[in-house]
Structure 1
Amino acid sequence: MTRKYKLNLKQALIIVFVVAVGFSGCKKYLDINQNPNNPDKVDPPLLLPTVEAAISQVIGNSFQVYGNMWAQYWTQSPLSSQYKAIDEYSPVNTDFNNAWLNLYRVALINSDLIINSPELKMENIKGIAYVMKAYSFQVATDAFGDVPVAQALQSTSNLNPKYDAQQVVYDSIFVYINKALPLLNVSDAISPGTQDLIFQGDMTKWIAFANTLELRAYLRLAIKDPATAQAGIAALYKTSPTFLTQDATITYTSTGGNENPFYNEMISPTLNKTQNVVASSTIVTALQKNNDPRLSKFFFLYNNNAAGDTVTSIPQGYYVIDAYKVVSPPSALVGGRALDPNSATAPVKLISATESYFLQAEAVARGWATGTVTTLYKQGMQASFTATGVGDATMFIDTAKSGLPALTHAGTNVDTLVKAIITQKYYAMCGFQGFEAWTEWRRTGYPTFFTTSGASIIAAGQKPLRMLYPNSELVSNSNYPGTVPVYTPVWWGLPNP
């Protein structure tokens, strides 16, 4: 069943922009005690693209920068200065105002408005809203640790929501996913159609997304709470779940207002097409050791300071030591090259097909799910090669040290199998899913070749393990838990990866 609606991506992004005036520049923001949309009665399909666009704005802009730099894909350019504090491991809490606002005051509040709408035949759209609610809370808690959940969306009835422990947040994530699935399976509900910016109303894909998100969430607990993770994954597999075989993504256009969020930030008057992020030697060296053909897809090629055939890099945080060196920027494929308008159309990947296969491979490697590790591992690598336009990965998989040999040499040792899987997932996420790659490193300690930023101003050997609570919470929420240093692990994280 379909119904026509008229809110497009640009309009959704404008609503998001009202809340977040830009990651890099203006520190003004709306009073978080006010709902920026303030809809008394709105059709759920009209709210849905706003929810999806808000989440993508977070993952595709501020968390894209922080994630890719702290995952050591990108580092600050020696020729600019915008993100020096990130390489110094000394962010300021105002940097996270906009991300928090987009998650809570746009994505989550509007998800709840959809869920609580009295309109009939909205089961599918409500199911999507539950999935987006689960996804948003996972992003929030993975970034910040303890966050408000139970009292978070009570609007004017509670302006000071208490913070829930991260374990409780994860319990809520599973509840929301389980509420989503039966709603997504209703066959005679009104379809959101093109108002759904991610799957255009395809419920089969949304069910696969929900299952993949649930698998991701349980695996996040694999080291901290293996009993819960194992039981949850076993229960999930008893339902014969489908998982994503394509990216869950919003694709942007080159039309004004519809660009990739990070590219839109780079071409803003504040940054004025300045190239602030460049290739980190951490990832470049690792890919070069394996003769990985994806390297030239992740980064722009230079030769004697001009377009050419070489990826140049600097060690993480060496923007002072290597001052004035021209370094390869991220490619337009990942939306990271300021001077390439093709960056405008780079997608924001909420969960990728590559990630889906590697999640399944890990679940099987741990003995918690059915399937073949080798097959899923190969599928994950092939999905990455396809996404980067490299083509058939068969020869690379069979011969590269980081490919099948890494898995084969692991034998049946679970830790070694997981190391091979997570390391290969790390390579695949370069530029596309920096926040998730950094998060997986915090969970597993893989890959093992991270260095400490040369610009770090915190204690020797320490690295960032969380983001700071935003200043907006400090000034407005009496239940603000206080400043937690960036080197303090979140509940599920390793203390010293």
Structure 2
Amino acid sequence: MIRKYKFSLKQALFAGLVVAAGFSGCKKYLDVNQNPNNPDSADPVLLLPTTQAALSQVVGNSFQIFGNIWAQYWTQSPLSSQYKSIDQYNPTTTAFDNPWLNLYRVALVNADLITKSTEPQLENVKGIAYLMKAYGFQLATDAFGDVPVTQALQGSAFTSPKYDAQQTVYDSIFVYINKAMPLLNTSGAVSPGAQDMIFQGDMSKWIAFANTLKLRAYLRLSKANPTKASAGIQTLYATNPTFLTVDASIKYTSTGGNENPLYNEMASPTLGKIQNIVASSTVVNAMIANNDPRLAKFFTLYIDKVAPTDSLESIPQGSYVANATKKVSPPSPLVGGKADDPTSATAPVKLISAAESYFLQAEAVARGWAPGNAATLYTAGITASFAATGAGDPTTYIATAPAGLQALTTAVTVNDKVKAIITQKYFAMCGFQGFEAWTEWRRTGYPTFFVTSAASILPAGQMPLRMRYPNTELTSNLSYPGTVALNIPVWWGM
């Protein structure tokens, strides 16, 4: 059964802000007998795109910028200044207000409202909502460390929710995924159809998403709690799980209000299509060393009006002062990063990519925690990345690149195998999944070719290992735990 609606991304986010504004004083959750114009009684199916759009705003805008700069895909352009503080490892706490708001006051609160709905036949929609809660809380805790979960989303009952340890947050993530599974498997339930901006109501893909998200979450514990990680993955594989073979993404258009979130910011009157982000030599040099054809897909060639050929120009991370007059290649429209190219508006935001799914599976096998062939899965990850970028046939690259298949097959230790897998995952995530790439580096230490930003204000050799708590928490939450320095690792970090 499918309900039909017409709902844009712009409308979804507006509706979410309305619900967030109304939530702070609400004492009851969804009740079909209440006024339908009241946020508390909003149609749960219509709250789903609001939740998804808000998560996409976080992943595709704020976390996209911070992640891609701290993962050393991008750096501040010498010809502009918007993101200098990020390259300096010195962002203000107010820089994190919007992502925190979008997570807690829009995405998570609306997902929570859906799960508490008393409307019949909404099992599938509730299942998706539980996964959005799991995904959202993982974003929050991976970024900030300890965050509210047990007292979060409860309105006036807890106006200053306590901060829970990351172990507790991760326990909640697994609970939400487990709650989702039987709901997703319920037949005859109302389908969200087009209101599901990610899979359009395809429950088989949501089940694969749930398994992939659970695998990602357990692998995140590989150093902090390897016993729990290995046991959880073995239990997961005992269910004969399916994993994602397609991207879990939200697609955008070039029409007003429905553009890619990063492009939407760059094209705003505030930034005026000024190119603030450009290619970092960290990733460029590493990909050149592997003769990687994806490089020309991730970045736009600098068009030299004098030289006979165009070139891909980069600068060392954070070296915008030393290269004050240099013109550098921007990210391509494929990843939504070219400010003056309107086709950037249609770049998707990937919550989990197909390539990531294969690399997660390859790591689980390489660690001895799951059955399968790590080389086959590793190759599938590279192939999926080449397909996503339109980089052509990956056969030669896989066979000959130093970071290709030989990096895995010649590895002797588990650590070396994981290094090969994470390094290749890093290449695949360029521009698309900057936050996840930075997060995996924080977990594993791979890739090993990161450098300290030339603009860094941190002690020598140190780099960001977390985000700062937002200013809104300092001013409004009495349970605010205090400032934690950027160079202090999160619980699961290296």
CA distance in 2, matches of 1:311, 1:489: 34
Equivalent positions of 1:243-254 (< 5 A) are 243-254=243-254
Partner SS state of residue 302, structure 1: coil
CA distance in 1, matches of 2:270, 2:352: 30
What runs of 5+ residues in structure 2 fail to find an aligned partner? 27-36
TM-score normalised by structure 1 residue count: 0.95
Partner SS state of residue 169, structure 1: helix
Partner SS state of residue 40, structure 1: helix
Query: Counterpart of 2:127?
Result: 127
Query: Counterpart of 1:100?
Result: 100
> Could you tell me whether the CA contact under 8 Å between 2:303 and 2:310 is conserved in 1?
yes
Which residue identity does 1:370 align to in structure 2?
Answer: P
Query: Counterpart of 2:342?
Result: 341
Query: Counterpart of 1:25?
Result: none
Partner SS state of residue 171, structure 2: helix
Compared with structure 1, are the counterparts of its residues 94 and 365 closer, same or farther at alpha carbon in structure 2 (3 Å cutoff)? Answer: same
> Could you tell me whether the CA contact under 8 Å between 2:300 and 2:332 is conserved in 1?
yes
Query: Counterpart of 2:373?
Result: 372
CA distance in 1, matches of 2:162, 2:237: 34
Partner SS state of residue 75, structure 1: strand
Spell out, residue by residue over 1:35-58, the C-alpha distance to the aligned partner (whole angstroms, 9 max, x if none): 8x9612011110000000000000
Spell out, residue by residue over 1:297-332, the C-alpha distance to the aligned partner (whole angstroms, 9 max, x if none): 000001426896311000000000100110000000
Query: Counterpart of 2:10?
Result: 10
Q: Aligned residues: percent identity?
A: 71
Whether 1:455 aligns to 2:459 is: no
Whether 1:142 aligns to 2:142 is: yes
> Could you tell me whether the CA contact under 8 Å between 2:56 and 2:351 is conserved in 1?
yes
CA distance in 2, matches of 1:276, 1:483: 28
Query: Counterpart of 2:470?
Result: 470
CA distance in 2, matches of 1:480, 1:48: 29
Equivalent positions of 1:34-113 (< 5 A) are 39-113=39-113
Moved over 4 A (4+): 16-20, 30-35, 305-308
In the TM superposition, what is the alpha-carbon distance from 1:83 to its structure 2 partner?
0.2
Which residue identity does 1:344 align to in structure 2?
Answer: A
Equivalent positions of 1:216-295 (< 5 A) are 216-295=216-295
> Could you tell me whether the CA contact under 8 Å between 1:13 and 1:258 is conserved in 2?
no
> Could you tell me whether the CA contact under 8 Å between 1:278 and 1:313 is conserved in 2?
yes
Query: Counterpart of 2:320?
Result: 319
Compared with structure 1, are the counterparts of its residues 372 and 335 closer, same or farther at alpha carbon in structure 2 (3 Å cutoff)? Answer: same
CA distance in 1, matches of 2:251, 2:276: 23
Compared with structure 1, are the counterparts of its residues 282 and 31 closer, same or farther at alpha carbon in structure 2 (3 Å cutoff)? Answer: farther
Partner SS state of residue 39, structure 2: coil
Query: Counterpart of 1:27?
Result: none
Query: Counterpart of 2:33?
Result: none
In the TM superposition, what is the alpha-carbon distance from 1:9 to its structure 2 partner?
2.4
What runs of 5+ residues in structure 1 fail to find an aligned partner? 21-29
> Could you tell me whether the CA contact under 8 Å between 1:75 and 1:279 is conserved in 2?
yes
TM-score normalised by structure 2 residue count: 0.95
Partner SS state of residue 135, structure 2: helix
Whether 1:180 aligns to 2:176 is: no
> Could you tell me whether the CA contact under 8 Å between 1:51 and 1:132 is conserved in 2?
yes
Which residue identity does 1:378 align to in structure 2?
Answer: T
Question: Aligned Cα RMSD in Å?
Answer: 1.7
In the TM superposition, what is the alpha-carbon distance from 1:392 to its structure 2 partner?
1.6
Partner SS state of residue 463, structure 2: coil
Which residue identity does 2:343 align to in structure 1?
Answer: N
CA distance in 2, matches of 1:220, 1:293: 30
Which residue identity does 1:330 align to in structure 2?
Answer: P
CA distance in 2, matches of 1:220, 1:320: 36
Query: Counterpart of 1:24?
Result: none
